[in-house]
Amino acid sequence: MRLSIKKTYVYYFLILIPFFLVYAASTMSAFNKGISSALKLGAFIYMISFVLANLKFNKNLFYSFLIFTPFLIYGIIISFSFRAGIDDGIRYLFPIVVLFFSYSIKNHFKVLMAFIIAFVVINFITQLFNYFYFFEGGIQWFYYSTSDGYRYVNKTAGILRATGTVVFFGFFGFFNMIAFFIINKYYYGRYKNLLLGITLFGLLGSISFKAFGAFLIVLALYYYKKLYKVAGYLLLLLIGIYFTYPKKINLFIENLILRIQLYITEGNSARSESYRVMLNEFGNFNIFGRGVGMFGGPASTKYNSPYYSEVSFNWFDSAWLNLPTTDTYLPHLFVELGIIGGFAYLVVLITPILKTKINNKMKLVLVIYFCLFFDMLFSFSLNNLEYLLFSLIFVYPILNYEEKS
């Protein structure tokens, strides 16, 4: 009996190894990006090995992946650099491998729920210390270093953006948002309200405009019958915050207006430039793509893709922050793989929700997909293992979960 229990816990540990590796990599990225990348690659290889060892495949996912594979191989072959093609080609596989791994662990949702709670609490406590040292005025371990050696503090309206242990405020807001929806649906313990409060604190503390937008849209769609009541509560909350911190809220509003001007109305950003390039490729009927590693992704900057010069790409302020990507996934996808290849790739990713009846479990899965895809419009979350292990990884376990168990 004891041996059986030990084997069970060992198996739970084996399920969680990718999480440990990836989120250790998140923290390590502030100190050594080489080690961070190695840990993520280790997690990727581990998930492939786990899937192959268990030999549990979803038939539809497998077939859709086979259909997409020729487009990926072709994109690598025509790339300006074989190394760049392989480099970014592997990244295209990240969400697909995560979905295969998700299917392999589909009977272990409770293990993932325990991890979600532990991860949220640990990051909440860490962030409290981050705030303390921020107000003390010291330089903290997670501050960015710019290309000219300047230590950059990521704050908005004078407020430090919450990062916890994961370094990046955007992901901090994202995982707290996903955790909020999952805990709200499936956690019935005595600390439910406390945990929901912690996740909301994390979401707000991140000051991630992407997460704010996705969260508000989901609330509006999910509670459309009570929309006026929800809107009223939010309005009262915002009024209370405004009269408590009027100067900071005014700065926050100014920052929001500036971002709308940069990314939408004036288009003075690498993100808006990326969409300009993508639309031009659509207009030129780019059916099969310009090649993997050509545009937008880390390999395109690492190996100096000639495509940026061809389209007169303007990086604007992104060059100062020394960013490796254009921070927009769809332009990267459709420029490199073309219209057909790009849509074939997206079909692979949404395979779990095709031909599936809409029930409460599916609604939660759709919320997770929406949050990830909404973030993808403004970032590289779709091939970022940190995001994928807090979104797509839950798809099959949620769809397979029986609440009474």
In-domain check, residue 405: no
In-domain check, residue 389: yes
- The b/e string for 19-42 (b: 16+ C-beta within 10 A; e otherwise) is bebbbbbbbbbbeeeeebeebbeb
388-404 average pLDDT score: 91
> 265 falls in which pLDDT band (50, 70, 90)?
very low
pLDDT tens digits, one per residue of 305-364: 999 899 888 776 555 455 667 778 999 999 999 999 999 999 999 999 997 788 889 999
* 156 compared with 271, residue with greater pLDDT: 271
Residue 143, Cβ neighbours under 10 Å: how many?
17
- At what angle are helices 270-283 and 329-350 packed, to 10 degrees? 70
Total domains present in the chain: 1
Domain hosting 194: range is 2-400
The residues, any chain, with a CB within 8 Å of residue 300's CB and separated by 6 or more, are: 84, 88, 293, 294, 307, 308
Sort strands 159-160 and 155-156 into parallel, antiparallel or unpaired. Answer: antiparallel
In-domain check, residue 349: yes
In-domain check, residue 46: yes
pTM: 0.89
In-domain check, residue 146: yes
Q: How far apart are CA 316 and CA 142, in angstroms?
A: 24
- Ranges 92-101, 224-233, 374-383, most confident: 92-101
In-domain check, residue 113: yes
| Residue 71 and residue 337 in contact, taking contact as beta carbons nearer than 8 Å | yes
